[in-house]
A and B are shown apart, each in its own frame.
Chain A
């Protein structure tokens, strides 16, 4: 059984159907990338997975266990194993960088403060932010905030990590720093679901790529297959467009 298994999931915003019959799976340690045009439902799929937007249909299994998104207990357990880095970082503005990273381990997982802060510092070092641990989010650039957000997500030792366009707000030099961090995580065996417009990176880092359009998954394949020999017209169109005009 896969680590993460999404079966026929649908979701709505009001009357608008934003996910339609989505199925996708990821084995332990796999890196699955979601690509597709703006508004195709990539962020929504991640939000459904972590329980911020309720699914109206379908099933989601984690390590063979079905998640009941209406149960608080299930949600708690789910969020204990899964973390998300948002497109807009969502850092706590009233807390320093170190506090942002250490707060969940200290207050939610009840780890000793010293140990949690030590761990937080090592994570900040990993993302190259150790010298900013006392700064506040509004004193940081977008890329710096993004890296703190990654450290915060990692602080709870998730087995599943969802990353939503973590490079979209960065300048080209910073992009590489963040991508290096993700490469490092892959080598540690964390299962990851990544939304990204960095096609070269997607191709390099993913074990599987899923192409989305209008709330559906159009095509799933290996990176080489999706980029070199897409089966669907929609995929070919999207990939060729984005490769010829990156961003």
Chain B
């Protein structure tokens, strides 16, 4: 087995393969970054809607609660299939990468909205009452009192969830998106040893995730001690 690895290694780590893996890694990163960016914005929006009290927004609140609970309770693989079969007839010609990215957005919005919501709720009720008696509007209260204090509670778990999304994107290989996992399969299909092929891919994922995990742990520790 070792002989085979040693024998294949020079060819495996050749220029073309490295570029191929690099591009695949780029797609993995793209899905994660766009997914988390959109997830953060939409999640913030949902979390804020859930904090409102007005009766008119009641149906909207119910709708977003159903959305969040539903998408946190179905496998990412199933989300991928649903998005695939829903988008294909609606917008023919959407790229597979686009479909996978939309799926990550749907998933991350649900999870990040919960993280953000618990951050918003971590601000003591007394300060919110203080703001109310000073005639702050809902938006002023959010922007001047609640959000500036909640990001410290939001950030550590959000970073941990981003690690989870990086790993979830590996399922997009099933659609045929040439991201890291699919690249690994292709390399193995071309005859490279599975240990070499999948091992290298695991290492790539590790290089993306590990710094983020450390960052999350660091944030958590720092915020705990302060």
Contacts and interface: CB of A to CB of B under 8 A. Distances in A.
A107 B145 CA distance: 12
Interface in B101-150: 124, 126-127, 129-136, 140, 144-145, 148-149
A84 B136 CA distance: 14
Contacts of B126: 86, 88-90
17 contacts: A50-B133, A51-B133, A52-B129, A76-B135, A79-B133, A79-B134, A84-B133, A90-B126, A91-B127, A92-B127, A92-B130, A92-B144, A92-B145, A93-B124, A103-B134, A104-B135, A107-B144
Interface of B: 124, 126-127, 129-136, 140, 144-145, 148-149
B145 A90 contact: no
Given A92-B145, A94-B148, A107-B140, A52 B127 contact: no
B130 A90 contact: yes
A93 B127 contact: yes
A90 B136 CA distance: 14
Interface of A: 50-52, 76, 79-80, 83-84, 86, 88-94, 103-104, 107-108, 152, 156
B145 A94 contact: yes
Contact of B127 (A76, A84, A90, A156): A90
Contact of B132 (A52, A91, A94): A52
Contacts, number: 51
Contacts of B133: 50-52, 79, 83-84
B119 to A, nearest CB: 13
Contacts of B127: 90-93
Chain B binding surface, main DSSP class: helix
B130 A108 contact: no
A196 B145 CA distance: 29
Given A76-B135, A88-B126, A152-B134, 5 more contacts: A50-B133, A80-B135, A86-B129, A107-B136, A108-B140
B62 to A, nearest CB: 23
Contacts of B136: 104, 107-108
B144 A86 contact: no
Which of A51, A76, A88, A152 has the most C-beta atoms of chain B within 10 angstroms of its own C-beta?
Answer: A88
Given A103-B144, A107-B140, A108-B140, A93 B149 contact: yes
A91 B124 CA distance: 10
* Top 9 A-B residue pairs of the complex, sorted by shortest distance between their CB atoms: A90-B130, A90-B126, A104-B134, A94-B148, A79-B135, A94-B149, A108-B135, A50-B133, A84-B133
B140 A92 contact: no
A108 B144 CA distance: 12
Which of B130, B136, B145 has the most C-beta atoms of chain A within 10 angstroms of its own C-beta?
Answer: B130
Contacts of B134: 79, 83, 103-104, 108, 152, 156
B145 to A, nearest CB: 5
Nearest to A107: B140
Nearest to A76: B135
Contacts of A79: 132-135
